[in-house]
Amino acid sequence: MLEIGVGEGALTRHLLAAGAKVFGIEIDDALIPALKKMEDEHARFHLIHGDALEIDYTALPKKMKIVANLPYQVASSIISQLTEKVERFPLMVLMVQREVGERLCAGPGSKDYGSLTLWVGYRYQARLCQVVPPGAFRPPPKVDSAIMCLEAREKPQVEVGDENLYFRIIQAGFAHRRKTLFNNLKSLNLNELKNMQEPFSNQETWRNLLERADIDPGRRAETLDAYEFAQIARAVESLMGGV
């Protein structure tokens, strides 16, 4: 198990009692002496003093399950980084702010649906297991929390030729939520995407690409599902000779 944010080790002790071998990440210098003592007392506990956003995960065992009560202010950044490493982390059980949890499993058309939803959903199936009220913590936070389960998919959610291109299109599509998909995408320079030799008129070409993908250019990004974004990515790939 990989535990991110060991804190005082309350959850760690339960994991060790259940027989798990635990690698625990903790950034707070003040907590390290007590955690080092715990490490001395438990052969199956290995302390990693550092920032979860800067850890070299390749130095850890190749396959691990993650359990974490993530710091709310950096939860999205940590999740974005971890879900890139699907071959290492087949299962994650995470405590996050409820708002973040709802973003992870949101559907098209909802206010919570966005680029994070699609980024995580490409490799993982996200499920909100339980809402945790503020009173469960001491001191209580000002927001509800959520326990999330992220299970690795056997294969990516959608088929695309170029994953980086797919995600660049998603990011551009959500750049300004009030704008239409076309108005957001036309700012994504096709000439720079793959060092194209032939110059394209961005505005005209994006209209043609959306038409080829059978997507109404007047729609907003939050109304498109992963399969529709994949259609756009494949249309771009086709234009560029990638597929």
What's the pTM value of the predicted model, to 2 decimals? 0.90
**Residue 133 domain-assigned (yes or no):** yes
For position 131, what pLDDT does the model report? 97
> Rounded to a whole number, what is the distance in angstroms from the first to the last CA of the chain?
40
- Give the model confidence (pLDDT) of 15-40 as tens digits: 999 999 999 999 999 999 999 999 99
CA distance 88 to 83: 9
148 and 194 inside one domain: no
Query: Can you give the pLDDT at residue 120?
Result: 98
pLDDT of residue 201: 62
Total structural domains within the chain: 2
Can you list the alpha helix ranges (DSSP code H) found in 18-132? 32-41, 75-82, 98-104, 115-123
pLDDT at 243: 44
Instruction: Identify the CATH number of the domain in which residue 214 sits.
Output: 1.10.8.100
Structural domain includes residue 157 = no
Asked if residue 171 and residue 100 are part of one domain, the reply reads no
pLDDT score of 190: 76
Q: Are 92 and 210 in a shared domain? A: no
Of 128, 152, 176, which closes a domain? 152
Q: What is the pLDDT of residue 198?
A: 54
Residues of the domain holding 113: 2-152
CATH of the domain at 42: 3.40.50.150
Confidence at residue 200, expressed as pLDDT on a 0 to 100 scale: 55
Q: Do 167 and 143 fall into the same domain?
A: no
Q: Which residues of the chain have pLDDT under 70?
A: 193-201, 241-243
- Our measurement of the distance from residue 121's CA atom to the centroid of its chain's CA atoms, rounded to an integer in Å, reads 8
115 in the same domain as 22: yes
Q: Residue 110 corresponds to which tokens in the numbers above?
A: 């909802």
Integer angstrom CA distances of residue 219 from 129, 190, 200, 222, 225: 32, 20, 23, 8, 12
Position 137 scores a pLDDT of 87
Query: Are 229 and 122 part of one and the same domain?
Result: no
Strand 22-26 to strand 45-49: parallel, antiparallel, or no bridges (unpaired)? parallel
- Indicate if 133 and 179 belong to the same structural domain: no
The pLDDT score that the predictor gives to residue 107 is 96
